């Protein structure tokens, strides 16, 4: 997989190393580093539709899936 700065990514695993920062499987974020740091990318995760930052963490490349856009099935239900 070829990741790059500002790619939209989905976290595809649930791991304690991410959960301790409030980041869980299925969440979307953006790559914030120009290059990998070891085997990880700096990713910022934000609340859906509010843009409020949740965490800015390093994530293993194999734990990420690149998207062109957030799939409609991932949108939160309407109230």
42 within 8 A of 67, measured Cβ to Cβ = no
DSSP 3-state percent helix, strand, coil across the chain (nearest 5): 15, 35, 50
In the chain, domain spans: 8-74
Q: Please give the pLDDT value at position 40.
A: 96
Over the stretch 6-57, which tens digit does the pLDDT of each residue have?
A: 999 999 999 999 999 999 999 999 999 999 999 999 999 998 777 789 999 9
Q: Please give the pLDDT value at position 1.
A: 64
Q: Please give the pLDDT value at position 74.
A: 77
Q: Please give the pLDDT value at position 23.
A: 97
Residue 19: helix, strand or coil by DSSP? helix
CA distance 29 to 66: 10
**What kind and span of H or E run contains 18?**
helix 16-19
Higher pLDDT, 75 or 56: 56
29 within 8 A of 11, measured Cβ to Cβ = yes
């Amino acid at each position: 997989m070829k990741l790059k700065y500002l790619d939209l990514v989905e976290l595809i695993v649930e791991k304690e190393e991410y959960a301790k920062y409030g980041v869980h499987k299925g969440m979307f974020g953006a790559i914030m580093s120009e290059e990998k740091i070891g085997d990880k990318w700096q990713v910022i995760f934000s609340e859906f539709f509010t843009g409020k930052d949740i965490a800015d963490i390093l994530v293993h490349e194999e734990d990420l899936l690149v998207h062109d856009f957030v799939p409609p099935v991932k949108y939160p239900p309407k109230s």
